[in-house]
Amino acid sequence: MKKIFVIGSVVFALLLCACKQTENYENELHTQKPEITEKVIAGNPPHDVEKYLYEPVARYTTNIISDENEDIITLYTSAQRDMRGDMMWDDTQDWVLQVKTGNEIRELYKQRLHGSVYFNVSDYYNDGADEKVITLFITTNASNEIREYRYNGENFVEKVVYTSDEAANEGIGRHYTSIPMYE
């Protein structure tokens, strides 16, 4: 009887420790902030979107580099259009985001993925100055990511602002999104 009591006490103590560790892990998981990473994008040779017949899905013209010249920001995909002009989406496609300034093309993003990519351009106002920022939204069936691109006077700097991989290290399973598909 004494052995059963000792074994029962040990098992109870182990279960109590395991529960406390799980609680600590869950608290730690919910209080972790995503690691924000930055990298300078310099001198990357641009992907030849014309040679590979990439389709432009979004284009915006603005002065992103602050040199008084208009720059063209274009998002391309490797998916093609059919005879009626409808997109023929594959399971995965390449996505390329480029900025054309004068005769120079700067490639900010190139990735093959199962999902969609969207961008917007905004003015960020700080200390009386404004700065144009390109924000890229990357959505797949297994993750979400937000990246920002800012021009620092010489190069674009990419900053990963959010990634769902930080919150769900084994991915996510998307059930629904209200983000529209490209037409």
Task: Give the pLDDT confidence of 63-92 residue by residue, as tens digits.
Answer: 998 788 899 999 999 999 999 999 999 889
- How far apart are the C-alpha atoms of 141 and 73, rounded to whole Å? 26
Query: E-assigned strands of 15-155?
Result: 37-41, 55-62, 71-77, 80-81, 87-88, 93-101, 104-113, 115-126, 129-140, 144-151
Which residues lie below 8 Å from residue 155, measured CB to CB, with a gap of 6+? 40, 41, 42
How distant, in Å, are the alpha carbons of 6, 77, 101, 116 from that of 2? 6, 72, 83, 64
pTM: 0.75
Query: What are the sequence ranges of the domains in the chain?
Result: 1-32, 37-166
Tokens of 175: 């059930």
Confidence of residue 168 (pLDDT cuts 50, 70, 90): confident
Which pLDDT score, from 0 to 100, does residue 135 have? 97
Residue 98 has pLDDT above 90, yes or no: yes
Tokens of 180: 């529209």
